[in-house]
Amino acid sequence: MMIRFKRLFKSFQYAFRGLIKIFREEQNLRVQTLVGVVVLFFGWFFMISRIEWAILILIIGLVFLMEILNSAVERVTDMLKPRINTYVKEIKDIMAAAVMFASFVAVLVGFIIFIPCIKDFLF
């Protein structure tokens, strides 16, 4: 089986184009990116362990993934049904809940990792 690098390169171009599009259009993704950068800074500042780094990166990735999926589902539902359809509203609300849930989990993980670091730093 031969890898077709030209096709692979094109698929990466499409993916980056999609990422740039939603980054420009979705305020929540920009806010989550800012929060993610701040969290990574605190990880560096407090010199967290490798396992804590892995957990933080995974949880930040989960929140980003949920926001990207939310954006894709919103676009699909907008294409298939008019905005006033109650099912479209329910689908969008459910996806928003998924993003919110992932964000709450991320906050809890952040507390678990950073509260001991902050205590050690202050006391």
Q: Is residue 3, in this structure, part of any structural domain at all?
A: no
Confidence of residue 67 (pLDDT cuts 50, 70, 90): very high
- Can you give the pLDDT at residue 80? 79
Sign of CA dihedral 99, 104, 109, 115: positive
| 2 within a domain of the structure (yes/no) | no
Instruction: Kindly state whether residue 4 falls inside one of the protein's structural domains.
Output: no
Domain of residue 91 covers 9-122
Q: Is the per-residue pLDDT at 14 higher than 90?
A: yes
What is the number of structural domains in the chain? 1
In a domain, 48, yes or no: yes
Does residue 1 lie in a domain region?
Answer: no
What is the CATH number for 39?
1.10.287.3610
What's the predicted TM-score (pTM) here? 0.86
Give the confidence band of 83 by pLDDT, cuts at 50, 70, 90. low
Q: What per-residue confidence (pLDDT) applies to 82? A: 67
With respect to residue 88, please indicate whether it lies within any of the assigned structural domains: yes
